[in-house]
Structure 1
Amino acid sequence: MARPHRVLTAMTLLVLVAGGCVQGDQALEPHNERKGPVGPIPTGLDRYYGQELAWGPCSDYATTSADRTAFQDPALECARLEVPMDYAHPEGKTIRIGVLRKPATDQQSRIGSLMVNPGGPGASGMSAAASLTTSVSDNELGERFDLVGFDPRGIGASEPAVRCLNDSERDTERLDSDADTSPAGVAQSEREEREYAGKCAARTGVDMLANVGTRDVVRDLDVLRSALGEPKLNYLGYSYGTRIGSEYAESFPGNVRAMVLDGAIDPGQTTVDALVAQGAGFQRAFDDFAAWCAARSRCTLGHDPEQAVQQFQRLTRPLVDNPVQAGYGRELSYPDATMAAIQALYAPTLWESLDTGLAELEQGRGQTLLSLADSYFGRDASGRYSNTTDAFDAIHCVDDKRVTDPEEVRKADRRYREAAPFLDDGNQPSSARDMCAFWPVPVTGEPTQPQVGELPPVLVISTTADPATPYQAGVQLAQALHGRLLTYEGTQHTVYLQGVSCVDDAGTNYLVDLQVPPEGTRCTG
């Protein structure tokens, strides 16, 4: 069965160098701070909710080359939060959560902390917050909120980190097309998936894998709220971060002040239905790309959008058996070519690169497409990978119901190919189960409509042609949380704080003044 694509925000995919300043851009002095406990404290967790945080420079928290640049900003400060590995045994092993903060520039008018998560699952909230500092530096968000990004357990600067493959193994894995759907091909694919699950268990630890899901992340988030001295949570969740937000709202409704949930996950959708809906979303984005490309003087896929899928398949399918050279001793595989397209379809700003990459592929070269795929997988120029993909797999395998019946897998693969024909490699649907079927720990979450108590109004933002989280998912989430839906008419994944003034103004007014936009509000770029 095709794996679900990670749902990363465009903001995460195109990380900006953090900017902004505090008090003339002076470096913040290291200091210890104890502001908790604040609010209700679950039994046995007093020491966590009231812990002291040691704030200091962020450079030592960087785990990627982009972070090493962004985290040098003297206006940022970082700390680690201690939480139980297993909340059922808070007296046992502990882990540490990486936290980054950009203090409000107007401390006298400060409202509180705004916690940010960019989704994935597996993306770094610290990186996301650092990249957003330029977007909030000259508005009320930056003036009145501390911008706080946290790396969920197992991710980025949090310790320990989920690890499954080393850099060389990940490079090799990306060259394997797994396109053979014969019985022998299925057996080989499942053997590789079983081995992958085994490496995750050996390198991360079974106890960590058992407690890495969203169930536990929302409890970490409440500990962080208290340790920061916040009686109520202000939260900005993008993409898969909307699932963290909705589960927090269900678990701690009385602790919520405001939530902006942009690019929603439908909380009640089954694993297969979510996968198929996402495939349809990427197909629609591909169709929009094809129409945009066809209107230009030069378009590799031609000037008839109706033929774009066939042309894309003509260019990419030969890669299944014959990868092309991509420079520096590397090759472009079929999986990387399709992932490059997925990467570019997250935001129209990358469509030019996709057309360029396809033009190179037509000439037997793969540099641009491989670069797009590298960005998707978190590989930097030195060949080092972030652990985003490893963490995505670990969280996905405990958050979602597993599909273990081979015939169900085959049906799901068939549905996905029908929903996203540009990603169909031309082979018969496969019955090969993914790594989750062999995962060494049980599922700890399940798709379900949240049952919320007395919850303040929540703002859900949904984009009409969002490729990764379809528009209807936002409609469903807003209804489930009894919140307000803000519609953005466009083709991209997530939109708040990305330069669309109608959306940015509505979201900021809500966070500052708790005023939701009028019912039925729609924005355009």
Structure 2
Amino acid sequence: MHRRRSPLRPRRAPEPPIRGGQVKRIVIVATAAIMAAGGAGVAVSANAATGPSGAAATKGIDWGKCAVSGPDDPMNNAQCAQVEVPLDHARPGGRKISIAVSRFKHTDDKDYKGVLLVNPGGPGGTGIEYAPALARWMGGVGHADVAAKYDIIGFDPRGVGSSKPALTCDPNFSDPIRPDYVPSSWKEEKAWIAKSKKYAQDCAKKFGWLLPHMRTTDAARDVDAIRAALGQQKISWYGFSYGTYFGATYATLFPKRVQHMVLDGNVNPKTVWYDAQLEQDKAFEHNIKAWWAWAAKYDSVYHLGKSEKAVEAKYYAVRAAAKKTPIAGKIGPDELDDIVLSAGYNTGYYIPFAEALSAWVNNEDASGLLGWLSAGGDDNSFAVYNAVQAADARWPRNWSKWHRDAEKLYKQGYRFNTWSNVWFNAPVAFWPFKGGPEFRLQGSRSLPGMLLVQSTQDAATPVAGGLEMHKVFPSSRLVFEVGGKTHANTLNGNACLDDKVAAYLDTGALPAGHRGPDAYCKAVPALNDPDPTAMTAKAARAAAGKDLPVGRP
């Protein structure tokens, strides 16, 4: 799900230029009558038609070319546009914003199944590139035929990326070298408090008019406007991480407009959002220790220690030294934590991060770590992350609670992620308004079966999230990846998972219902516990990770 900026994401090619700047726009107008009937604005244009559902909808978006980074950019094979929506869906005639959308068209005319929207999570993750990416991933696991039956729709949710406006608060907020996440004194903690408070104030000054309209429910209504603009009565959805909560919100608001819905790496609806970070802290401690234990298993390769405790001690020694003298002058303790955090998300990072850490510890070679440093991060994704969570839910406004909860977890042994997670969320404590109330997710008799997938050792969205989401939606079916440590792990090469997803998207097939999980898939040993003596770091990363990020921004 949600979390840090640096590096946070699977390594990838340089960021393509902003999408959507060279495309045509279609205007969305919602009437009060439509709002009353459907709960959201839908698309209307000069060539509008009224479908069987009774809602006005366009015959199509006026698609154009996407901005691309070069001839090999997959976006050359997609189409892009901007879809205009109301800032406030309760006031459809008021101020407008626009949502950047992309389309990777179906090639199977005989068995066309409609549109499949994809969201990579965050909140704050850009989704424009995921239209061709989802088709690519499905083809990579042997199911290109299923992808070919859909128009796959990527989009940047409101405030994100190529959507207009793109929310930013302080582009320099995350520049290295930042104050140590783990405060050793009240003076150090106050420095982070002041930094976080100023960030919230900067957001309010620049985008105070937008912030109250950044709830997930607002974004879900934008999705329904996109649906109508596409001329579709129903949509299918593939949501990773926060995209599960996003999709579940849409399914609650518009159950009759859902065809298929895959939710991978499920948010726990009971912990939205303050308690979610506390549960993450516990789960990440487990997973980072698993990485240290793995490194100890291959001490003959990495020379970092022969036991989990020895590797852990080595890591914290390196971290303490980096606070005094930053590695290569660029990596302090926070930047080091941010780099290796991804090993808690995805086992594909085990080998490359162990290689990089080993090179520094044993040879004072910082090149490996520097190669993973994302100096400054992405303020747009960070700003949207905070804005959505602040608007969605009630958060403690008394700093003493944040402090007490963090101190308690840290003293209980949850050292690695606790304080860094505090500061990643801390601007919300000083947000210009109180968010909430939390939107209540709810199943419906009119909602078709949904497929939920959950890795049992997922740290970003711990396993309880899958079980709770399953309870909320009785028509859903839950598949456990037993022992899986990689976050949102479908379409990564576990055939048991990937085949179930493909069958569901193709025919609607779901496992038989049971109490608790409905089906089980074992984690693939070669991916879950990679062998550095049998594969290179590059091969390990390719074998256990999508080529675009899912989860946190």
Same fold (TM over 0.5): yes
The 5 A counterparts of 1:351-390 are: 351-362=350-361, 363-364=363-364, 366-374=366-374, 379=377, 385=378, 387-390=380-383
1:35-74, CA deviations, whole angstroms, 9 ceiling, x for partnerless residues?
Answer: 999xx94248355563552211111xx6xxxx66775543
CA distance in 2, matches of 1:9, 1:229: 38
Residue 238 of structure 1: CA displacement?
0.2
1:51-109, CA deviations, whole angstroms, 9 ceiling, x for partnerless residues?
Answer: 552211111xx6xxxx6677554321111111011112211111111111110111231
- Contact 2:4/2:424 (CA < 8 Å) preserved in 1? no
- The answer for the alignment partner of 1:497 in structure 2 is 491
Residue 321 of structure 1: CA displacement?
3.6
Residue 148 of structure 1: CA displacement?
0.9
Within the candidate set 96, 103, 106, 2:105 is matched to 103
- The answer for the alignment partner of 1:24 in structure 2 is none
- The answer for the alignment partner of 1:234 in structure 2 is 236
CA distance in 2, matches of 1:9, 1:480: 34
Q: Is the aligned partner of 1:421 residue 2:415?
A: yes
CA distance in 1, matches of 2:293, 2:94: 57
- Contact 2:278/2:418 (CA < 8 Å) preserved in 1? no
**Change in 2 beyond 3 A, CA 1:431/1:41:** closer
Q: Secondary structure at the match of 1:123?
A: coil
- The answer for the alignment partner of 1:23 in structure 2 is none
The 5 A counterparts of 1:41-440 are: 41-43=34-36, 45=41, 47-48=43-44, 50-51=57-58, 53-59=61-67, 71=73, 73-137=75-139, 139-166=144-171, 168-172=172-176, 174-180=177-183, 182-203=185-206, 205-296=207-298, 297-325=300-328, 331-362=330-361, 363-364=363-364, 366-374=366-374, 379=377, 385=378, 387-417=380-410, 418=412, 420-423=414-417, 434-440=426-432
CA distance in 2, matches of 1:69, 1:118: 25
1:362-404, CA deviations, whole angstroms, 9 ceiling, x for partnerless residues?
Answer: 25554433443419x7x5xxxxx46222221222222232122
Residue 163 of structure 1: CA displacement?
0.5
The code of the aligned residue for 1:170 comes to S
Q: Secondary structure at the match of 2:200?
A: helix
Q: Secondary structure at the match of 1:5?
A: coil
The code of the aligned residue for 1:58 comes to C
Q: Secondary structure at the match of 2:521?
A: strand
- Contact 1:9/1:238 (CA < 8 Å) preserved in 2? no
Count the aligned residue pairs.
Answer: 487
Q: Secondary structure at the match of 1:99?
A: strand
CA distance in 2, matches of 1:108, 1:140: 12
- Contact 2:101/2:155 (CA < 8 Å) preserved in 1? yes
- The answer for the alignment partner of 1:458 in structure 2 is 450
- Contact 1:101/1:149 (CA < 8 Å) preserved in 2? yes
The code of the aligned residue for 1:332 comes to I
CA RMSD of aligned residues (A): 3.4
CA distance in 2, matches of 1:31, 1:159: 14
**Structure with more relative contact order (C-alpha pairs < 8 Å, separation 6 or more):** 2
- Contact 2:347/2:486 (CA < 8 Å) preserved in 1? yes
The code of the aligned residue for 1:475 comes to L
Q: Secondary structure at the match of 1:268?
A: helix
Between the aligned residues of both structures, percent identity stands at 26
- The answer for the alignment partner of 2:468 in structure 1 is 476
Q: Secondary structure at the match of 1:42?
A: helix
- Contact 1:36/1:227 (CA < 8 Å) preserved in 2? no
**Change in 2 beyond 3 A, CA 1:364/1:443:** farther
CA distance in 2, matches of 1:16, 1:131: 13
Q: TM-score, normalised by structure 1?
A: 0.84
Instruction: Provide structure 2 residue ranges, at least 5 long, that are not aligned to the other structure.
Output: 16-22, 45-55, 525-553
CA distance in 1, matches of 2:215, 2:326: 36
Instruction: Provide structure 1 residue ranges, at least 5 long, that are not aligned to the other structure.
Output: 19-29, 380-384
- Contact 1:106/1:144 (CA < 8 Å) preserved in 2? yes
